Structure 1
Amino acid sequence: MIRVLLADDEAMVRAGVKAILDTDPGIEVVAEATDGREAVDLARTHQPDVVLLDIRMPRLDGLAAAAELRQTVPGTAVVMLTTFDEDEYVARALGDGANGFLLKAADPRELLIGVRAAADGAAYLSPKIAQRVVADLRDGRLTRYDQARRRVATLTGRERDVLALVGEGLSNHDIARRLTVTEGTVKAHVSAILNRLDVTNRVQAAILAYEAGLTTAR
């Protein structure tokens, strides 16, 4: 069962998102918060698998809450759920360690896919957001390619294999099956990759994999 904490200051939005999550028998909303500070406090108490955070909330906004959650409950995946897709929000959310970025106006199925991906250790961006991230990468492709290749060169051959599959959005379970190794081995490789590349999470690692030419954006 995937345990989710939902944080949004609008009661109707919380009710709508919860109704969508409730359609999946493998997902349970264990707590609801009305602001970022409450979300952090409840996450410490409930230790959910995934926290869904709105960006614009009182007391502590979602972006600040995401950064705090990464420090206080590092085992919990953080997914931003918002109506805003401005570049500054996306960049800051990913920089602060968010595992995903979903738009409230998207297809409800994206919400379920995103939550399951985050809980499984993968990263998920709404297609609209992913297109913008890829476009930004292409704008500075050559310079970033050289920098990314130098960073990736510090990895072992197996770590580069794992990074390439992380770049394709595969979960640890799927990577283990693809490489015919145990899931524990994959987790160890991912941890080493994040440490060697000095990135916060799988989203940043996936972007680096694309910049280095290890995978092709879809």
Structure 2
Amino acid sequence: MDCHIHPDFSIDARGSVEAFVRRAIELGLSRICFTTHIDLDPNRLSADTYIRVGGKLRVASLEFAQIYRETVYEARRKFGDRIEIVYGFEFSYEPHFEDRVREFIRGAKPEFAIGSVHSVDGFEITSRRSVPAAARVFELRSFLRRYYEKILSLARSGLFDVIGHIDGYKKYLSRWWGLYAIERAEIEILEEIAPKLADAGAKFEINSSAYK
């Protein structure tokens, strides 16, 4: 089972829905969930707020989400007797655009929704190209505190089925701060935050991308 697949509707991905389905069947998977990445942050309009439709970048909207949904449904009609196929999204999240995400979810009606924090205070933290700026601006512990405050807000929003790649920042920031230093600092922060996440009913995907 793989529930975090970006097809080529995502601006950061390649491979069609059907190609992924065929490969999943070859691998013997019983279930896959497509989670096209949607970023509705008004502060990132020139960078990330797009969806790819017909090979062209379009501003993410319910109109284009409908095209994506129909593509997934068509794959389900074609291959549904061999594998379970789920229609979903991965949403970038910060509190200042939570209402935009809520409205999009209400209109797009995904069967599965991942919420992920990809940026902190305007600094992207899961991109090789953008991480150096974040590493220069933040001190390690202050970054972790800000990040997990946003994760807690995400969990409390009730919008998402799971929290995505909760430690995804390690993939690139570990090159600046060191993996050992990050994980030592995490212990301090999570001793405080983890009980609050549990109270919020937080659920987490199993995702090893931080260590690739």
The two structures have a TM-score, normalised by structure 2, of: 0.34
**Higher strand proportion, which one?**
2
